[in-house]
Amino acid sequence: MTLLRHTQGGEITERQALTINPAKTCQPIGAMYAALGIHRCLPHSHGSQGCCSYHRSTLSRHYKEPVMAATSSFTEGSSVFGGQSNLLQAIENIFTIYQPDVIAVHTTCLSETIGDDIPQIAEKASEKGLIPEGKRVIHASTPSYVGAAPTGFANMTAGMVKYFSQSTSPNKVAGRVNVIPGWVEPADMREIKRIVAAMGLESIVFPDTSDVLDCPQTGVHEMFPKGGVTVEQLRAAGDSAATIALGPVCSGPAAVELTNKCGVPHATLPLPIGLEATDRFILELRKHNGGIVPQEITDERGRLIDLITDMHQYFYNKTAALWGDPDQLVSLSELLLTVDILPKYVVTGTPGKKFLRQMGDVLQDRKSEVQVRQGTGADLFLMHQWIKNEKVDLLIGNTYGKYISRDEGIPLVRHGFPILDRVGHQFFPTVGYRGAIRLLEQILEALMQLQDVECSEERFELTM
Amino acid sequence: MSESSTTSDMVLGGDASVTAAVVREELLRDYPAKTKKKREKQIVINDKQHGDDGSLQLPVVAANSRTVPGIISQRGCCYAGCKGVILGPTRDIVNIVHGPIGCSFYSWLTRRNQTHTPTDEHDNFMTYCFSTDMTEENIIFGGEKRLRQAIQEAYDLFHPKAIAVFSTCPVGLIGDDVHQISAEMKKQLGINVFAFSCEGYKGVSQSAGHHIANNQIFKHVIGEDDTQRSKWSINLLGEYNIGGDAFVIEDLLERCGIELVSTFSGNSTYDQFANAHMARLNTVMCHRSINYVADMIEKKYGTPWIKVNFIGANATAKSLRKIAEYFDDRQLTENVERVIGEEFPAVVEAQRKYRPRCTGKRAVLFVGGSRAHHYQELFSELGMETIAAGYEFAHRDDYEGRQVLPSIKIDADSRNIEELRVDADQDKFRESDRQQGIQREKQGYTLREYDGMMAEMKDQTLIIDDISHSEAERLIKMVRPDVFCAGIKEKYSVQKMGVPCKQLHNYDYGGPYAGFAGAINFYEEIDRMVNARIWSRVQPPWENGTPAADAISPLPISMEEPEESTNP
C-alpha cells in the first residue's frame, strides 16, 4: 500500500493554479515566531481566531512548548465594519490580564483585505489609555497572500527595528555587533550567541527564541520566560558597530532598516549552516574583533573537517532532494556539495527574486545536474514526481517528507519547519561547525541505517 | 428542594476552602468590566436544583457566544470545523481550499483521522493538500478563474468522484462565487463538485463550520444512491476516527450483525454518504457537530435517531443494547449480549489493575463539543472524579440538554449560518421507519434524547465554557487536578505547571479509546500519566532547603565497596 498512491512519474504537466502538498506556509506564522523572540512580548494575530489557533498549534507541535498568542477573533460583523473595536478590546484585555511589555500585532489576509490600519488603531488605543505607561504595541503587515512564512518572520523582525532601534550617538559601540539569526531553532540562536561570545564580541541577537521555546520544566509556567531580546537591547541595536544578517530572506530587511534608520552598517550572509557558510560568518565576525579567531573555534572547524575527510566515501556521489525555506536551502545545498552529495532536487514555495541566483552561485558547474523550482507549482507533489522519474538517496526537509520517504524507501533527515513527529531539533543546533557535525552525523546515520536494513546477509558488516 | 444545601461544600481541590464559588471568583477577578460581564455567564457553578415534579433545573450557560478578543481562547475558526473536522476524514473527495496557502497547509494531516482503504486501487486523497494558493493579484482581480483552473487540474490529475471547494476569509470578502463555479464545473466534468462558504470569520467557533459542512453534504450528497440496506442498518453520526476509534466501533457493530451504512465522517467515503438515507436508524455520537443532520434525515427520509456513546466500557455496552432494543429482535439482542460478554472480562481485569492506582484522583476536561462530556465516563470507570469541565465550541443543549433547544435565542452570529428547510421527500420517505420509531416510543423507548453534560456531572462542580488561558492557569493553581484534558495549544503550558495533560482532540498520538478495547487503552494511559515517577522529580534535590551535608539522593541505592579484583 502506498500513502501517496496518486502521485505518478512520467510526463509532468505544468500546473497553473493548483498547489499540491506545499513547500511553504503563510506569512503570519513567521511573524508570530519572530515576535516570540522578544522578551515579555505577546504576539497578536489580527484576524479570524482560526489563524492564531493554527499557528499556535503548529509552533507548539514543532517545539513541544507552550506558544502564547492572542487573536482579535473577527466575526462576520468585524469583517464588514473593520476590526478596530476587536483590536482595541484585545489590547485592553491583554494588558490587563497577561501584562506583557509588548504586544506584537501581525495582520492576516482578512484584516489586510479589509484594510485595517494597525498604527492608527494603536494610536487610538493609546489615546483611550489602554496602553499602560512604558508598554508598547508594535506591528508588522503580513497578508497571507503575499510572500510566505520566512517573509512574515522578516517583516516582524524589521518591525522591531522600526519601532525600537535608536541611534543615540554618531559613535557606534566598538566590539558590539547585532546578529539577526533568521528563522532557525532556539538551539541555533543559543549557538550563534556562543560563537559570537567565543570570538570576543558583545552581541545583540534578535529575535532570540532561546529560553523561550526551549524552557526547562520547573513546575511553573512562565507566561513570559526569561529569554528573548529585550526592548532595551532592541533600542541599543541602533548604536552597535555593525549588523550581521544571517539569511537574506529572513534577516535582510531588518538589517537594511537598521542601516537606513540608525546608520549601522550591515553585512548579509547565508545562514551559517555548513563549513563554508560558517567560515564566512567567522570571517565577518573577525572584522570586528581585531582579526582573532580563538583556538576553540579553530578546533571545532578541525573536528568538522576531520569528520568529512574520514567519512567522505559514504557521502560521495549520493543524491538528495531538499525542500523548505530559501535561506536554509542555499546553505544546505552548499554543505551537501562540500561532502560531495548532489542536491539533485531543490524546491521552495517561498517567492523571492534572489533565490535562484544564489542557488546558481552554490551549484556552479553542477547546475545542469540539478532541478531547482521556486514559487507556484514548486511543491512536494512536483518533487515526488521528479523522484518517481529518477530516485535520490536522501530526503532533507520537514516532517511532510515522511510520506514520500515511506512510499519510496528513501531515508528522511528532518530539517526545517515544521518537524511534528520528532524531538532534537530544538535542542541541538545545526548552525556553526558543531551544527554541521550534527547534520552530517544525522545524514550518515540515515544512509548507514538504510544500508544495514537493506543489504544482503553476506554484506552485513560490523565495522565501517 | 435544592440539593445544593447538602453539597455546597463540595471541594474541588487544594484545601477544603476551594469550592466552585471560590474558584469562580478568582477566575473572574482581574478581568476588565466588560470582559468580566461576558465571562460571568460562561463560568457557571453546576447548581442542580430539583423542581417539585422532580425535574432537574440547571443554570444557563451562555455557550456558543463570541470569544472576547485578546483573551487567549482554545477556539479555532469556521473553516477549521468545516474542512478540518467534517470533510477531513473522508478519503475519496479532493478537497480544494480556495485561499492563500496557510489554511490548507495547517489542516493537512494534522487531525489524526485514520482511514482504511481496502486496496491500493481505492482512492485516498487524505495524504494530499490542495490549495489555489491565492496571491495578491487574485485578491485584487478576483480568484474565480484560478479556482476554475485548479478544479480542472485536480480532475485531470486525479479523476476523483467528487471535488469539494472551501472558501477562506478573503474569498468571502472579494466575493468569488464558489458555488456558481462548482456548479459549472460539475456540469463540465460530469462529477459532483460542490462548495462550502466556510470563511473563517463566520460564526463564533468551529461549530459554525460543522454546520456549513453538514448542510452541504446533506444537500449535495445524501440521497444520491438508493441501494437497499438490511433490517439492522445504522449510520454513525459524529465519529471522526481519531486514533482509530471508528475501527473499533466498526468491528463491534460487525460482530453484532449490525450493518454500518456510513460514518459521518471517520473512515468514510463519498459513496457511504450518498447511501446514508437508506439506513434504518441514525445513531449520534457527537451531538454537537451533527444532531441537526439526524433531524434533517428524519424529516426528509423518516429515519429516527438515538444518542449513543462509545467512549467508556459501560457506555459502549449501553449503546449497543440501545441499538438492539430499537430493532427489538431476539437474535440481535443475543448477538449484542454475546459480544459484550466476549469483551467485558478484559475490561474488568483492566479495571481491577488500574482502578486502585487511580481512584480518588481528579480530572478536569476542557475540550470539543462532546468529548468533555463523554470522557467523564472513562474517568469514573477508573474511580476518578471530574471536578470541572467545559466545551470549546458546544451550544447550550450540549450542557443543559435538548429540552432547552426551543429557548435558545438566535443571535447575529448564528443567524448567518444557514438553517436548511427540509420537507419529507415524496419518493424516498420511508413511512415504515417512522412507524417503527413511533411504535418504540409508545413502548417507552426514548428517541432524540440528550441530557447534556451538566445533568451527569456532580452538583456544585464548575462549568467553564470556552476557557481562556488565564482561567486555565488559575484553575490549575487552585485545584491542582491530577490530569488536565485539553488540546495541543494547552498541553505544554499545563505540563509546565506540573500537571499531566491529555490531549483529547488527537489523543497524543495514542488511542483508540472507543469501545471496550479503547477503554482499556485509556485506563492504561491515565495510569501512566497520573502515576509517572517523573512528576515527583521536577524539583532538584538541592532546592529543598536541606543543608548540603544532610541531602540524600532521591533514590538511595546501596553502594558496596568495589568488587574484589579477580587478578592476583
What digits encode the pLDDT tens for the residues B59-106?
Answer: 999 999 999 999 999 999 999 999 999 999 999 999 999 999 999 999
CATH number of the domain that A45 lies in?
3.40.50.1980
Residue A2 lies in a domain: no
Contacts of B487 in chain A (CB under 8 A): 57
Same-domain check for residues A151 and A188: no
The residue behind cell 518517481 is A388
Q: Are strands A371-374 and B43-45 parallel, antiparallel or unpaired?
A: unpaired
**Active-site residue (options: B20, B63, B80, B394):** B80
Give the best residue of A7, A45, A48 to mutate against chain B (max B CB count within 10 A). A48
Q: Are strands B305-307 and B362-366 parallel, antiparallel or unpaired?
A: unpaired
Instruction: Decide if B463 contacts B409 (C-beta within 8 A).
Output: no
Residue A247, CA atoms < 13 Å, CB-side half-sphere: 25
* Position A95, amino acid: F
Q: Which of helix, strand or coil describes residue B568?
A: coil
Residue A152, CA atoms < 13 Å, CB-side half-sphere: 31
What are the tens digits of pLDDT across the range A258-273? 999 999 999 999 999 9
Q: Kindly determine whether residue A73 and residue B154, on different chains, have CB atoms separated by under 8 Å.
A: no
- Using CA of residue B74, residue B194, residue B285, residue B454, what is the dihedral sign? positive
Distance of CA B31 to the CA centre of its chain: 29
Rounded distance between C-alpha atoms, residue B251 and residue B343, angstroms: 12
Give the cell for residue A4.
501517496
Q: Kindly determine whether residue B201 and residue A60, on different chains, have CB atoms separated by under 8 Å.
A: no
Q: Are strands A342-348 and A319-323 parallel, antiparallel or unpaired?
A: parallel
Same-domain check for residues A180 and A159: no
Residue A37 lies in a domain: yes
Q: Enter the CATH code of domain B78-220.
A: 3.40.50.1980
Same-domain check for residues A313 and A450: yes
* Position B226, amino acid: D
Rounded distance between C-alpha atoms, residue B104 and residue B132, angstroms: 9
Residue A20 lies in a domain: no
Instruction: Decide if B188 contacts B180 (C-beta within 8 A).
Output: no
Contacts of B173 in chain A (CB under 8 A): 79, 110, 113-114
**DSSP 8-state symbol, B393:** S
Q: Are strands B462-464 and B43-45 parallel, antiparallel or unpaired?
A: antiparallel
Instruction: Decide if A444 contacts A314 (C-beta within 8 A).
Output: yes
Nearby residues of A375 by Cβ (< 8 Å), 6 or more positions away = A349, A351
Q: Kindly determine whether residue A145 and residue B204, on different chains, have CB atoms separated by under 8 Å.
A: no
Extents of the domains making up chain B: 1-60+359-401+452-509, 78-220, 233-356+405-449
What are the tens digits of pLDDT across the range B183-213? 999 999 999 999 999 999 999 999 999 999 9
Of the candidates B287, B230, B240, the one whose C-alpha atom is nearest the C-alpha of residue B260 is B230
Contacts of B203 in chain A (CB under 8 A): 75
Backbone angles phi, psi at B336, to 5 degrees: -65, -45
Instruction: Decide if A305 contacts A279 (C-beta within 8 A).
Output: no
Strands (E), B110-198: 130-131, 162-167, 192-196
Give the best residue of B488, B507, B537 to mutate against chain A (max A CB count within 10 A). B488
Q: List C-alpha distances in Å: B540 to A219, B55, B265, B495, B551.
A: 11, 54, 48, 17, 11
Distance of CA B397 to the CA centre of its chain: 15
Instruction: Decide if A116 contacts A139 (C-beta within 8 A).
Output: no
Same-domain check for residues A89 and A196: no
Rounded distance between C-alpha atoms, residue B566 and residue B559, angstroms: 19
Q: Scanning every residue of chain A, which has its alpha carbon at the shortest distance from the alpha carbon of B95?
A: A20
Mean pLDDT, chain A, whole residue set: 97
Of the candidates B292, B366, B287, B363, the one whose C-alpha atom is nearest the C-alpha of residue B42 is B366
Angle between helices A84-93 and A118-127 (to 10 degrees): 50
**Active-site residue (options: B91, B98, B146, B210):** B210
The predicted structure's pLDDT at residue B547: 75
Contacts of B174 in chain A (CB under 8 A): 113
**DSSP 8-state symbol, B408:** P
The predicted structure's pLDDT at residue B2: 40
The predicted structure's pLDDT at residue B242: 96
Query: In this complex, which of A57, A66, A79 lies closest to B173 when CB atoms are compared?
Result: A79
Residue A12 lies in a domain: no
Q: How far is A2 from chain B (nearest CA, A)?
A: 7
What are the tens digits of pLDDT across the range B458-489? 999 999 999 999 999 999 999 999 999 999 99
Same-domain check for residues A302 and A287: no
pLDDT band at residue A438 using 50, 70 and 90 as cut-offs: very high
The predicted structure's pLDDT at residue B10: 77
The predicted structure's pLDDT at residue A412: 98
* Position B229, amino acid: R
- Give the 3-state DSSP-derived string for B445-514, with helices as H, strands as E and coil as C: CCCCCCCHHHHHCCCCCEEECCCEHHHHHHHHHHHCCCEEEECHHHHHHHHHCCCCEEECCCHHHCCCCE
Rounded distance between C-alpha atoms, residue B368 and residue A68, angstroms: 20
Peptide bond into B5 cis (omega under 30): no
Instruction: Decide if A234 contacts A161 (C-beta within 8 A).
Output: yes
Indicate left, alpha or beta for A390 from its phi (over 0: left) and psi (-120 to 50: alpha).
beta
CATH classification for the domain delimited by B1-60+359-401+452-509, as one of 3.40.50.970, 3.40.640.10, 3.40.50.1980, 3.40.50.920: 3.40.50.1980
Is B154 a residue of the active site?
Answer: no
Q: Enter the CATH code of domain B233-356+405-449.
A: 3.40.50.1980
Kindly compute the dihedral angle of the four CA atoms of residues A329, B146, A58, B506, in this order, to the nearest 10 degrees: -130
Q: Scanning every residue of chain A, which has its alpha carbon at the shortest distance from the alpha carbon of B170?
A: A110
Instruction: Find the largest Cα–Cα distance for chain B.
Output: 101
**Active-site residue (options: B20, B63, B77, B78):** B77
Instruction: Decide if B467 contacts B390 (C-beta within 8 A).
Output: yes
- Give the 3-state DSSP-derived string for chain A, with helices as H, strands as E and coil as C: CCCCCCCCCCCCCCCCCCEECECCCCHHHHHHHHHCCECCEEEEEECCHHHHHHHHHHHHHHHCCCCCCEECCCCHHHHHHCCHHHHHHHHHHHHHHHCCCEEEEEECHHHHHHCCCHHHHHHHHHHCCCCCCCCEEEEECCCCCCCCHHHHHHHHHHHHHHHHCCCCCCCCEEEEEEEECCCCCHHHHHHHHHHHHHCCCEEEECCCCCCCCCCCCCCCCCCCCCCCECHHHHHHHHHEEEEEEECHHHHHHHHHHHHHHHCCCEEEECCCECHHHHHHHHHHHHCCCCCCCCHHHHHHHHHHHHHHHHHHHHHCCCEEEEECCHHHHHHHHHHHHHCCCEEEEEEECCCCCHHHHHHHHHHHHHHHHCEEEECCCCEHHHHHHHHHHCCCCEEEECHHHHHHHHHHCCCEEECCCCCCCCCCCCCCCCCHHHHHHHHHHHHHHHHHHHHHHHCCHHHCCCCC
Q: Out of A292, A308, A338, pick the residue that ends a domain.
A: A292
The predicted structure's pLDDT at residue B5: 40
Q: Out of A292, A310, A341, pick the residue that ends a domain.
A: A292
Contacts of A352 in chain B (CB under 8 A): none
Q: For residue B348, how many other CB atoms are within 10 A of its CB?
A: 11
Same-domain check for residues A235 and A204: yes
Backbone angles phi, psi at B561, to 5 degrees: -65, 155
Is B78 a residue of the active site?
Answer: no
Contacts of B411 in chain A (CB under 8 A): none
**DSSP 8-state symbol, B535:** G
First to last CA, chain A: 34
Q: For residue A127, how many other CB atoms are within 10 A of its CB?
A: 9
Percent of chain A whose pLDDT exceeds 70: 100
The predicted structure's pLDDT at residue B559: 74
Query: In this complex, which of A17, A57, A109 lies closest to B150 when CB atoms are compared?
Result: A17
Find the angle CA(B82)-CA(B473)-CA(B24) to the nearest 5 degrees: 95
Same-domain check for residues A312 and A207: no
State whether ipTM is beyond 0.90: yes
Instruction: Decide if B199 contacts A113 (C-beta within 8 A).
Output: no
Q: List C-alpha distances in Å: B268 to A118, A418, B221, B261, B265.
A: 44, 28, 13, 10, 5
Secondary element (H or E) of residue B318: helix B313-327
**DSSP 8-state symbol, B242:** B
Same-domain check for residues A302 and A267: no
Residue A39 lies in a domain: yes
Query: In this complex, which of B106, B158, B413 lies closest to A6 when CB atoms are compared?
Result: B158
Q: Scanning every residue of chain A, which has its alpha carbon at the shortest distance from the alpha carbon of B31?
A: A97
Same-domain check for residues A347 and A318: yes
Same-domain check for residues A198 and A99: no
Rounded distance between C-alpha atoms, residue A88 and residue A82, angstroms: 12
Same-domain check for residues A360 and A384: yes
Q: How far is B488 from chain A (nearest CA, A)?
A: 6
Rounded distance between C-alpha atoms, residue B318 and residue B22, angstroms: 37
- Using CA of residue B185, residue B186, residue B187, residue B190, what is the dihedral sign? positive
Mean pLDDT, chain B, whole residue set: 95
Instruction: Decide if A437 contacts A304 (C-beta within 8 A).
Output: yes
Residue range of the domain that includes A106: 27-164
Is B111 a residue of the active site?
Answer: yes
**Active-site residue (options: B21, B62, B111, B448):** B111
If one counts the domains in chain A, the total is 3
Q: Which residues of chain B have pLDDT under 70?
A: 1-9, 14, 551-556, 562-568
Q: Kindly determine whether residue A1 and residue B117, on different chains, have CB atoms separated by under 8 Å.
A: yes
Is B210 a residue of the active site?
Answer: yes
Q: Which residues pair with A425 in a beta bridge?
A: none
Instruction: Decide if B492 contacts B502 (C-beta within 8 A).
Output: no
Residue A371 lies in a domain: yes
Q: Which of helix, strand or coil describes residue B145?
A: helix
Q: Kindly determine whether residue A72 and residue B69, on different chains, have CB atoms separated by under 8 Å.
A: yes
Same-domain check for residues A317 and A439: yes
Rounded distance between C-alpha atoms, residue A337 and residue A366, angstroms: 9
Query: In this complex, which of A17, A110, A215 lies closest to B149 when CB atoms are compared?
Result: A17
Rounded distance between C-alpha atoms, residue B84 and residue A408, angstroms: 28
Q: Are B1-60+359-401+452-509 and B233-356+405-449 the same fold in CATH?
A: yes
What are the tens digits of pLDDT across the range A328-374? 999 999 999 999 999 999 999 999 989 999 999 999 999 999 999 99
Instruction: Decide if B111 contacts B88 (C-beta within 8 A).
Output: yes
Q: List C-alpha distances in Å: A40 to A36, A159, A208, B256, B258.
A: 8, 16, 12, 58, 57
